[in-house]
Amino acid sequence: MPKIRVDDRKPFEVTLRQFKRACEKAGIVKELRERQHYIKPTTQRRIDKKAAIGRTKKAAKMALRPKF
């Protein structure tokens, strides 16, 4: 859990922004989104495979593009 020191001289908005940034760096928001819905392992493998195919196609497309 990220910890932020609260300074009475700083506005609350600044402290809140620092806390949000610390949570983002710690990966809390990403993990929360992943845990919102359960995805079956077979479905996850299918999604990962589609993503890998897409990355491969993109890499091939970028390799064929002329470099100026």
Q: What is the pLDDT of residues 17-54, one digit of tens each?
A: 999 999 999 999 889 988 999 999 999 999 999 999 99
Question: Cα(first)–Cα(last) distance of the chain, in Å?
Answer: 48
Asked, for residue 3, whether it belongs to a domain, the answer is no
According to the model, what pLDDT value does residue 56 have?
A: 97
Whole-angstrom Cα distance, residue 23 to residue 1? 8
According to the model, what pLDDT value does residue 48 have?
A: 97
Asked, for residue 54, whether it belongs to a domain, the answer is yes
Residue 42's domain comprises 12-64
Asked, for residue 5, whether it belongs to a domain, the answer is no
Asked, for residue 16, whether it belongs to a domain, the answer is yes
Please tell me which residue, 42 or 68, carries the higher pLDDT value. Answer: 42
In the structure, what pLDDT confidence band is assigned to residue 3 with cuts at 50, 70 and 90? confident
According to the model, what pLDDT value does residue 57 have?
A: 96
The whole model's pTM is what?
Answer: 0.52
Total domains present in the chain:
1
Asked, for residue 60, whether it belongs to a domain, the answer is yes
Asked, for residue 39, whether it belongs to a domain, the answer is yes
Rg (CA), the chain: 20
Asked, for residue 7, whether it belongs to a domain, the answer is no
Asked, for residue 1, whether it belongs to a domain, the answer is no
Instruction: Look up residue 27 and give its amino acid.
Output: G
